[in-house]
Amino acid sequence: MLEEAMLKSDKIKWLIGSAELIPAGDNVFGGAIAVLTIHHWKNIEKSFNELSRVLKKGSHVVIFTSTPQQMNGYWLNAYFPKMLKASITKMPSENILEAAANKAGFKLIKTEKYCIRKDLNDLFLYSGKHNPEIYFQPEVRNGISSFATLANQNEILAGLNGLRRDISTECFLNIKQQYENDFGDYLFIVFKRNAS
């Protein structure tokens, strides 16, 4: 990812680090964005402490993630139940995030649900909500951490065979409908670092 980023711009000083140990000085950044990463953070509290350290007072942190409740509403559960269970287990809840953020000196500003649109171009776990055929592409699955690191090959093959069968018989539409809910598919969470 870093190599691709460097090809796009050589005017930015790209850094490699972790949320728990950000390779930057104190109070240097005017904001932070975490897109589908918090489930990879090894220690949520330590990560928010690091964000508090490197961000200027009054800065915002925007997190794009999914909650366990939202993930329980993915139709992927019908085809890849063990993988989804493992993914959900890794996903911190809103309450855990807010508690860690508050402890590190952040205040929750707002949350906003995001529902997958049919014209979505990005490829992440539930991006195939309306286009299940994308999961048949190995390069798509390999770019999704749940498929790449949490699923076993037997479950993937069985799930893909079931999905292919259900799409061809239109059973998929019934299964998809069973998972419809009002929770949204993902969530934007905005925190603000205290000004004091």
31-89 per-position pLDDT tens digit: 999 999 999 999 999 999 999 999 999 999 999 999 999 999 999 999 999 999 999 99
Q: Taking the model in full, what pTM does it have?
A: 0.92
Phi, psi of 48 (to 5 degrees): -65, -35
| Mean per-residue pLDDT, 136-153 | 94
Tens digits of residue pLDDT in 113-138:
999 999 998 999 999 999 999 999 99
Residue by residue, DSSP assigns 2-33 as HHHHHHH-SSS-----BTTB-SS-TT-EEEEE
With b meaning 16 or more CB within 10 Å and e meaning fewer, what string describes 125-160? Answer: bbbbbeebebbeeeebbeebbbbeebbeeebbeebb
CA distances from 97 to 38, 84, 142 (A): 9, 20, 28
In the chain, where are the structural domains located? Answer: 29-193
Cβ atoms < 10 Å from Cβ of 185: 20
Domain 29-193: give its CATH code: 3.40.50.150
Q: Give me the residue label for tokens 């794009």.
A: 64
